[in-house]
Amino acid sequence: MIYEKQPGVPKFESFEYNEKQRDYVVLIPIINEGDRIHKELKRAQENNVSAHADIVICDGGSSDGCTDEAKLKALDVNTLLVKQDTGKQGAQLRMGIWWALERGYKGVITVDGNNKDSIEDVPKFIAKLEEGYDIIQGSRFIKGGQAINTPFVRNIAVRLIHAPVISLTAHHKFTDTTNAYRAYSRKYLTDERVQPLRDIFMTYELLAYLSVRATQIGMKACEIPVTRAYPKGEKTPTKISFFKGNNELLKILFSNARGKYNP
């Protein structure tokens, strides 16, 4: 089914392999992840993640065959959403969030599709949503978390720049703020003081904004330990270029601190 562009939501096509099965949904934004997404989904399958949440791929327009229908179905994917519009990760997440809210999910978990994150921890996020938390941030840097082969520059940047600025902006301590492995309650995503479905969120703005807005308006936040493992001796799987990408992240970070993305 094709959904035409509307304010805050890009044009996209949905391929629903199953009806809504669970109260919660895992949104996985990808573009040309190759076998990495299949390995991640295999791990999810081995850990029975689909018994806890529906798994939905938010594709940015992959052309490498990683969204082959037979493969996704065999790996317990509930639905494939394919963006047919402008924008990067932010647009993919807006597509997925809108669709998830329309389908009636109680909460949304997001995780990258490059096989770096402990997708088997999805039930832990759901448990916190059930406890009434509105944003649950996965962290490799708190007790019980694991940071494996994290590039030195990225480690320093997160710990000494990104996390402190986000924490000051949010008035709440966070330790792993560039990590997209997190969960949001339906209450948070539908609050009029939040409004995540806006076209201003095209790249990584939405992740920064949603990190801080919950506690700014008095909602509940926490962190839970997760694992993020970078492959040893291989090129780092990321869509963020060293100079241009990191410079853009810094611009977003400080724009967010100034309240640029508030409704």
Concatenate the DSSP letters of all residues of 200-260 into one string. T-SSSHHHHHHHHHHHHTT--EEEEE-EEEPPTTS----S--TTHHHHHHHHHHHHHHTTT
Report the C-alpha gap between 217 and 239 in whole angstroms. Answer: 31
Q: For residue 188, give both structure tokens.
A: 């948070």
Q: Residue type for 225, please? A: P
Supply 173's token pair: 């301590």
Enter the tokens of residue 153.
């520059």
Q: How far apart are CA 72 and CA 75, in angstroms?
A: 5
What pLDDT does residue 154 have? 86
- Supply the pLDDT for residue 181: 98
Alpha-carbon distance of 26 to 158, in angstroms, equals: 24
User: What is the Rg, in whole angstroms, of the alpha carbon atoms belonging to the chain?
Assistant: 17
Supply the mean pLDDT for the chain.
95
β pairing state of 182-185 and 135-139:
antiparallel
Cut 0.85: pTM above it: yes
CB-based contact 239:31 (threshold 8 Å): yes
Residues 178/185, Cβ–Cβ less than 8 Å: no
**Joined tokens for residue 10:** 């890009």
Q: Which two tokens stand for residue 243?
A: 């100079």
Q: Extract the residue ranges of the chain whose pLDDT is less than 70.
A: 234-246
- Model pLDDT for residues 100-130, shown as the tens digit of each residue: 999 999 999 999 999 999 999 999 999 999 9
**Can you give the pLDDT at residue 245?**
55
Domain layout of the chain by residue ranges? 11-257
Phi, psi torsion values for 9, nearest 5 degrees: -135, 125
Given this model, what pLDDT does residue 78 score?
98
Query: Which residues are registered as beta bridge partners of 194?
Result: none
What is the CATH topology of the domain spanning 11-257? Spore Coat Polysaccharide Biosynthesis Protein SpsA; Chain A (3.90.550)
pLDDT digits (tens, 9 = 90+) for 238-261: 554 444 556 888 999 999 999 999
Residue 241's pLDDT is what?
A: 47
User: Could you report the per-residue pLDDT of 11-30, keeping only the tens digit for each?
Assistant: 999 999 999 999 999 999 99
